Amino acid sequence: PARHFDTRTTEPISFFLSGLEELLAWQPDSNDDFNVSAVPLAKRQPPLHSRRPRTLVCHDMRGGYLEDRFIQGSATRNPYVFYHWRYIDIFVYFSHHTVTIPPVCWTNAAHRNGVPVLGTFITEWTEGQKLCEAFLAGGAEAYRAVGEQLARIAQHYRFDGWLVNIENTLSAAAVGNLPPFLRHLTAQMHSAVPGGLVIWYDSVLQNGALRWQNELTEENRVFFDACDGLFTNYNWKEEHLERTRGLAGPRHTDIYVGVDVFARGDVIGGGFDTDKSLRLIRQHGLSAAIFAPGWVYEHLGEENFLRNEKKFWASLAEYLPTHSICTLPLATSFSLGMGTSRFLSGKEEEPGPWYDLSAQEIQPLYPEREGRLSTSCCLQDAWCGGSSLRVQGTIPPGEERVAIRLFSLQMPAPPKLFLTLLYKLEGPHPDEFAVALELTTWDSGTCHEGNVTSLPEPNGRHHPRFLPAPPPGLAKLLAACDRGSNGWTSRCYELDLRECSLRDLSLLVSCHQPSPREMPFTCLLGEVRVLDAASVAASPPEVQSLSASQLWWQ
């Protein structure tokens, strides 16, 4: 079928559904396998339902289904990627097709980083009005069938829910059935997908008129009450936020205040002033919905995208609570799922651009301290994949070292950890610096390293022991403990902990002698792994029932 495969190249592609007939006729299909997400939603802390204000990102770019529709990747130069997953809670893929099924590469990348993904169900203009009358103005059977199909689609393709956007006027009969439809869809999603979500966009009112409120009001709260959240329109002022906070009561974090990064209409902020909107939203304890952050790519150009993207998200970091990893193993080569070449073991394997978000690895925090520290993506050199993490900074005069926080962690420490690190020092004097990993633990009176006789570490900082060679039985997994290649240095470490809870994983850069001047350094990180020794020793499960179909040799 044409919708599963690109008519020009025959490659498998992600697709949308148009109109009510296509939605109701949808059935799981043997050609669907490519479109089913292969990555389960990773656990993270705090979980989505905690009462902390959240951040939703709504991705809307040039109608959607661009190069991201190619499920097995494409040779795209300067593609759009998103990688600040630690800073957000929900990702919505938006387009103007009736049923926007998120391209599977986005679901894979988001899930690997613990972020749920929503598709979009939208009706608009006169066509939308007809569609709504067809399924809402009749009996319960019609709208229940639509709710059930939407839940089945999310469950089948393994994404996490829907943004519902009804942008057309409704008859009295249709609008009367809208709250029960939303309640039914929400209940279906909750039972079909663990953590399933339905969010309503602020558009029509309970009398059927299409009038954006830019806030929660008595006119639209009936829809908010029927689902998991409200995404407000963008033309709000501070008094809208005050009224919304009052009306939402204990559900105030389920209000996602819309922020259009393109700053269309009468809005506060937008562009590099988006922080102004976020500051106000957070002052009122509300969640935020950042709409079209692809502005950085579309408006400022593809060439300097990574530099501008870093600047944009760094400007918002103060208002974006971050998330912690809460399961091991943690292993990443920092790849963005794109590159100007492909690397393996530090060597360029295949020159030429590529883009495949499914191949994006777990992304770290991206700490920035004006003039003192900067973290960014480096496409010119990598250990594995398409990019490495470049850490640039200075060690202040007279200081010995600086710690750069890469990941926030929140989990009990297993009794024994193995850690591995691959790095490359750049700059004029790389031999003046040493690089290592540091783990911090939450301060608890019981936590200590090694055997019972050792004292608790002051301020919970642990420096794992260097392993010159891998322990027997782990030679394969920790193969290159003291052997790098192609200019990369490889290190393995071990750490024994008792009754501790892990807090942060940091990169430690130290100078061999403290200097009276500040010491600038540049370090590329190619790979970091934190492994629970107990589960590493067990052999991985074998692949079973492997099959191949629809082969075409070329």
Strand ranges for 128-215 from DSSP E: 161-167, 197-201
Contact 164, 184 (CB under 8 A): no
Give the C-alpha separation, 478 to 469, whole Å: 8
Q: Where are the domains of the chain?
A: 16-24+53-69+79-321, 330-537
For residue 484, give both structure tokens.
Answer: 């790098």
Where do we find the tokens 């795209």?
76
Q: Following DSSP, what letter does each residue of 300-342 receive, concatenated?
A: H-STTHHHHHHHHHHHHGGGS---EE-SS-EEE----SEEEEE
Rg (CA), the chain: 25
Report CA torsion sign: 432, 436, 442, 446.
negative
Give the C-alpha separation, 24 to 29, whole Å: 14
Using DSSP's 3-state secondary structure scheme, residue 192 falls into: helix
Contact 101, 336 (CB under 8 A): no
Could you give the angle at which helices 125-136 and 172-192 cross, rounded to 10 degrees? 80
Question: Which residues does residue 489 pair with via DSSP β-bridges, in sequence order?
Answer: 423
For the domain bounded by 330-537, which CATH number is listed? 2.60.120.260
Using DSSP's 3-state secondary structure scheme, residue 76 falls into: coil
Closest CA to 489 of 367, 334, 346, 389: 346
Could you give the angle at which helices 172-192 and 140-157 cross, rounded to 10 degrees? 30
Closest CA to 384 of 330, 333, 331: 333
For residue 80, give both structure tokens.
Answer: 């759009």
Give the C-alpha separation, 159 to 169, whole Å: 29
For the domain bounded by 16-24+53-69+79-321, which CATH number is listed? 3.20.20.80
DSSP letter assigned to residue 137: S
DSSP letter assigned to residue 427: S
pTM over 0.85: yes
Closest CA to 280 of 272, 271, 290, 288: 288
Give the C-alpha separation, 288 to 307, whole Å: 24
**16-24+53-69+79-321 and 330-537 agree in CATH topology:** no
Compute CA distances 187 → 139, 177, 226, 254, whole Å: 19, 15, 10, 17
What is the structure's pLDDT at 480? 67
DSSP letter assigned to residue 272: G
What is the structure's pLDDT at 471? 74
Question: Which residues does residue 385 pair with via DSSP β-bridges, in sequence order?
Answer: 343
The upper half-sphere exposure of residue 514, i.e. CA atoms within 13 Å in the direction of its Cβ, equals 8
Give the C-alpha separation, 283 to 264, whole Å: 23
Compute CA distances 442 → 197, 323, 364, 498, 533, whole Å: 32, 16, 20, 12, 21
DSSP letter assigned to residue 204: B
Where do we find the tokens 């060597």?
347
Where do we find the tokens 């309970």?
206
**Residue-by-residue pLDDT tens, the chain, 554 positions:** 678 999 888 899 999 999 999 999 999 988 888 999 999 999 999 999 998 999 999 999 999 999 999 999 999 999 999 999 999 999 999 999 999 999 999 999 999 999 999 999 999 999 999 999 999 998 999 999 999 999 999 999 999 999 999 999 999 999 999 999 999 999 999 999 999 999 999 999 999 999 999 999 999 999 999 999 999 999 999 999 999 999 999 999 999 999 999 999 889 999 999 999 999 999 999 999 999 999 999 999 999 999 999 999 999 999 999 999 999 999 999 999 999 999 999 999 999 999 999 999 999 999 998 878 999 999 999 999 999 999 999 999 999 999 999 999 999 999 999 999 999 999 888 889 999 999 999 877 778 887 554 555 556 888 998 887 777 767 776 666 767 788 999 999 999 998 899 999 999 999 988 889 999 999 999 999 999 998 887 777 899 999 887 777 66
For residue 190, give both structure tokens.
Answer: 């909750």
For residue 481, give both structure tokens.
Answer: 């403990």
Q: What b/e readout covers 304-324, taking b as 16+ CB neighbours within 10 angstroms?
A: ebbebbbebbbbbbebbbbbb
**Alpha-carbon torsion, ordered 78, 82, 86, 91, to 10 deg:** -170
Query: Which residues, including other chains, have CB under 8 Å from residue 512's CB and lie 6 or more apart?
Result: 432, 433, 434
What is the structure's pLDDT at 455? 55
